[in-house]
Amino acid sequence: MMNRTAKIYRNENMLDFLKDILKIAFETIIKIGAFFAVGTGGTALVCWYYGMPLGFSILGGILVLGVALAIMSDNSWW
């Protein structure tokens, strides 16, 4: 049987593990949201300038998001 100290230590390790996973997930969601926002905003400006419907700006956001996800890796420079 494990003593009380070992149980506390194991629970702390599990909490640290969950904190690390949530931190990575949150950072990834922020990056993805930023890529999509920049792509949509840039395309919205182009659509507005050329008089196209702003609904097409979503396609620019999706395109930028796809390219960003394709080139992202664990050793990214951003």
* Tens of pLDDT, residues 66-77: 888 888 766 555
What is the span of the domain harbouring residue 24? Answer: 4-71
pTM: 0.71
Question: Could you tell me the mean pLDDT of each successive run of 10 residues in the chain, 78 residues long?
Answer: 58 82 93 94 95 93 90 64
Q: What is the pLDDT of residue 35?
A: 93
In a domain, 15, yes or no: yes
Q: What is the pLDDT of residue 75?
A: 59
Q: What is the pLDDT of residue 14?
A: 78
In a domain, 76, yes or no: no
**Whole-number Å distance between alpha carbons of 70 and 58:** 18
Q: How many domains does the chain have?
A: 1
Burial class (CB in 10 A: 0-12, 13-18, 19+), 17: exposed
